[in-house]
């Protein structure tokens, strides 16, 4: 591949390489994909002040989050089933993240298990938890994450029910079994010799590593969809957060907060951080863009916990835009997923290096030498949101 690559280039390359249903799974949002589009538009609507004649020869991108030094204020967001995009995909992405000094946040519903990623990567990764109905399973996951040395836990709170994904139904990933034969089609695609070889499935069941114990070793991906339908828990409340808090000593971050009232509650209950996120526009399709929600949340709780944000961040300058709105760190989902699909570990690594270059340029051109000093003083004015 010839670099540099924009997000659009990586998305196009991923589209060429992936079967349609997998590309749609990553690319898509819920319902009519309004929030998905609004996330990216809201980030891009943020204008920054151009400042000149400051000595910016020594730009410093590094920051500290939850007691950990990051080479830049960026994290790879949890992407469920990301391991399907390349052979043992979570391992490739985690290695790329570690090589670039940023955390890889592993999804509960990864293809590789916690142990597998731990054994294949030199540095610790962070872990994202979905609270399933089976609390024994949840405890087991926490124990395994602790055992693997995961220092930071993200609890995703914006998926009490799966957002209707019409696009996935059209392309055959999900939908009522038997209705249009999606299950059969999916299994056929996954069993295709080239595909199975590439994602490392030959000779192995299509497992979702972390679910093996609960599904007694029989975790084919289509079993997973029906398992997740039954086990994602719509009755999770703040009480359950207290339960998780009492069983996790390390930093706990709530992912999927869009409202200052919920943010205050998260702080009251002792969360160490939160991610302003609407799940990349994959849940409630009627939210504002995450960038729009960020300033009020940062104002409400920024002194009490670490405010992070994701949704629509597509390059290094977008990272700076989110920092200017009050985030202390930023997560990316689709950019790394598409890079992984397009070119594996190397492409994810190059994309991260490119984002660092872009962030460095942004810091220099706004006259702000250090990422950790970025904040609302960089804003050119109130963003032109709808
Ligand atoms: C996600 N996201 C997600 N979040 C989470 O907490 N657990 C998960 O398993 C997943 N799975 C997942 C799969 C795919 C294909 C996507 C695109 C997203 C949401 C993700 O962590 C993040 O919040 C968004 O992706 C951020 O938006 P962008 O960067 O994709 O615009």
Tokens, residue 198:
């590439």
Res 276: pLDDT: 98
Q: What proportion of the chain, given as a percentage, has pLDDT over 90? A: 66
Res. 89: pLDDT tops 80: yes
Question: How far, in Å, CA of 355 to CA of 336, rounded?
Answer: 11
- For a mutational test of ligand 1's pocket, the pick from 36, 44, 79, 334, i.e. the residue with the most ligand atoms closer than 8 A to its C-beta, is 79
- Quick one: which of 92, 354, 131 has its CA closest to 234? 131
The contacts found for 143-147 with CB under 8 angstroms, 24 or more apart, are 144/114, 144/115, 144/210, 145/114, 146/248, 146/250, 147/114
Q: State yes or no: pLDDT of 36 exceeds 60.
A: yes
Ordered domains of the chain (ranges, CATH):
7-166+229-374 (3.20.20.70)
Model confidence band, residue 186 (pLDDT cutoffs 50, 70, 90): low
Q: Which ligand 1 atom is at minimum distance from the Cα of 158?
A: 6
pLDDT category at 134 given cuts 50, 70, 90 is: confident
From CA 257, how far away is CA 322, in angstroms rounded? 15
Reported confidence tier of residue 34, pLDDT bands at 50, 70, 90: very high
Ligand 1: atom nearest CA of 40 is 31
Pairwise pLDDT comparison (297 vs 116), residue with the higher score: 297
- For residue 142 the two structure tokens come to 């926490």
Q: What is the mean pLDDT of residues 68-75?
A: 98
Write the residue with the smallest CA distance to atom 14 of ligand 1.
Answer: 79
Q: Report residue 206 CA to chain centroid gap.
A: 22
Q: Where are the alpha helices (DSSP H) in 213-289?
A: 221-231, 238-247, 260-268
Q: How far apart are CA 205 and CA 74, in angstroms?
A: 33
Q: Which of 68, 206, 247, 279 is catalytic?
A: 279
Q: Which two tokens stand for residue 256?
A: 């999927």
Average pLDDT, the chain: 88
Residue 134 Cα to ligand 1 middle (Å): 23
Q: Residues enclosing ligand 1, CB less than 6 A?
A: 25-26, 39, 77-80, 107, 109, 128, 156, 255, 277, 279-280, 282, 310-313, 332-334, 337
pLDDT band at 223 (very low <50, low <70, confident <90, very high): low
In sequence order, which residues have a C-beta less than 8 Å from that of residue 11 and are 6 or more positions away? 27, 334, 338
> Would you say residue 11 has pLDDT above 90?
yes
Write the pLDDT tens digit of every residue in 325-349.
Answer: 999 999 999 999 999 999 999 999 9
Among protein residues, the one whose CA lies closest to atom 10 of ligand 1 = 79
CA of 249 to the centre of ligand 1 (A): 25
Provide CB contacts within 8 A for 333, sequence distance 6+. Answer: 77, 78, 79, 280, 310
CA distance 373 to 239: 36
Tell me which of 340 and 136 has the higher pLDDT: 340
Residue 310 CB contacts under 8 Å (≥ 6 apart), including other chains? 77, 275, 276, 277, 280, 290, 330, 331, 332, 333
- The whole-number pLDDT of residue 232 equals 76
Identify which has the larger pLDDT, 84 or 139.
Answer: 139
Lowest mean pLDDT among 65-79, 154-168, 353-367: 154-168
- What is the best residue among 279, 315, 327 to mutate for testing ligand 1's pocket, by most ligand atoms within 8 Å of CB? 279
As given in the structure block, the two tokens for residue 95 are: 């290695």
**pTM listed for this prediction:** 0.92
Return all residues near 143 (Cβ < 8 A) that are at least 6 apart.
Answer: none
Q: What is the pLDDT of residue 227?
A: 65
Per DSSP, the three-state class of 308 is strand
Separation of 261 CA from ligand 1 center, angstroms?
23
| Spatial distance between the Cα atoms of 165 and 31, rounded to a whole number of angstroms | 6
Q: Which of 232-246, 324-338, 366-380 has the lowest mean pLDDT?
A: 232-246
279 catalytic per annotation? yes
Three-class secondary structure of residue 75 per DSSP? strand
User: Is the pLDDT at 177 greater than 70, yes or no?
Assistant: no
* 164/24 Cα distance (integer angstroms): 14
> Can you tell me the mean pLDDT for 91-113?
94
Best probe residue, ligand 1, of 39, 77, 228 (max atoms within 8 Å of C-beta) = 77
Complex-level ipTM = 0.99
Kindly report the protein residue whose alpha carbon is nearest to atom 5 of ligand 1: 78
Q: Which long-range contacts (CB under 8 A, 24 or more apart) does 171-176 make?
A: 171/20, 171/21, 171/24, 171/25, 172/21, 173/21, 173/22, 173/24, 173/25, 174/225
Q: What is the pLDDT of residue 200?
A: 43
Alpha carbon distance 70, 60 (integer Å): 11
> Which has the higher per-residue pLDDT, 384 or 377?
377
C-alpha 209 – ligand 1 centre gap (Å): 18
Find residue 105's DSSP bridge partners.
126
Cα 53 to ligand 1 centroid, rounded to whole Å: 39
* 153 alpha carbon – ligand 1 mean position (Å): 16
> Contact at 8 Å (CB) between 72 and 360?
no
Q: How far is the CA of 365 from the centre of ligand 1 (A)?
A: 30
CB-based contact 282:29 (threshold 8 Å): yes
Residue 104: pLDDT band with limits 50, 70, 90 = very high
More confident of the two residues 76 and 20: 76
Quote the pLDDT of residue 228: 66
| Mean pLDDT for the stretch of residues 79-96 | 90
Range 169-178 average pLDDT? 63
Pocket test for ligand 1, best of 104, 313, 333, 355 (most atoms within 8 A of CB): 333
Mean pLDDT of 209-233: 60
């Amino acid at each position: 591949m010839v670099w540099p690559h924009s997000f659009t280039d990586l998305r196009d390359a991923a589209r060429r390489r992936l079967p349609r249903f997998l590309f749609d799974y990553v690319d898509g949002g819920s319902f009519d994909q309004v929030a998905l589009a609004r996330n990216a538009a809201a980030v891009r609507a943020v204008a920054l002040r151009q400042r000149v004649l400051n000595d910016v020869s020594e730009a410093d991108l590094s920051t500290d989050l939850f007691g950990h030094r990051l080479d830049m204020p960026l994290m790879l967001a949890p992407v469920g089933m990301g391991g399907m995009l390349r052979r043992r995909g979570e391992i490739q992405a985690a290695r790329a993240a570690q090589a670039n000094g940023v955390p890889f946040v592993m999804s509960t519903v990864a293809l590789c298990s916690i142990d597998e990623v731990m054994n294949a990567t030199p540095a610790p990764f962070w872990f994202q938890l979905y609270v399933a109905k089976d609390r024994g399973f949840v405890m087991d996951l926490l124990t395994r994450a602790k055992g693997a040395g995961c220092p930071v836990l993200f609890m995703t709170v914006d998926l009490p029910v799966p957002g209707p994904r019409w696009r996935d139904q059209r392309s055959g990933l999900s939908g009522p079994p038997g209705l249009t034969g999606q299950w059969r089609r999916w299994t056929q695609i996954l069993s295709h010799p080239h595909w199975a070889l590439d994602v490392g499935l030959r000779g192995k069941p299509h497992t979702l590593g972390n679910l093996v114990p609960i599904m007694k070793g029989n975790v084919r991906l289509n079993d997973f969809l029906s398992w997740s339908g039954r086990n994602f828990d719509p009755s999770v409340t703040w009480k359950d957060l207290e339960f998780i808090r009492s069983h996790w000593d390390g930093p706990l971050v709530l992912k999927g907060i869009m409202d200052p009232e919920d943010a205050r509650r998260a702080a009251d209950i002792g969360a160490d951080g939160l991610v302003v996120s609407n799940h990349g526009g994959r849940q409630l399709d009627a939210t504002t863009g995450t960038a729009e929600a960020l300033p009020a949340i940062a104002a409400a709780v920024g002194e009490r916990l670490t405010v992070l944000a994701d949704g629509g961040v597509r390059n290094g300058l977008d990272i700076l835009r989110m920092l200017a709105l009050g985030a202390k760190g930023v997560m990316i989902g689709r950019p790394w997923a598409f890079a992984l699909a397009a070119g594996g570990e190397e492409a994810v690594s190059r994309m991260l290096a490119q984002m660092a270059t872009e962030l460095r340029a942004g810091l220099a051109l706004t006259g702000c030498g250090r990422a950790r000093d970025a904040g609302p003083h960089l804003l050119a004015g109130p963003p032109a949101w709808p």
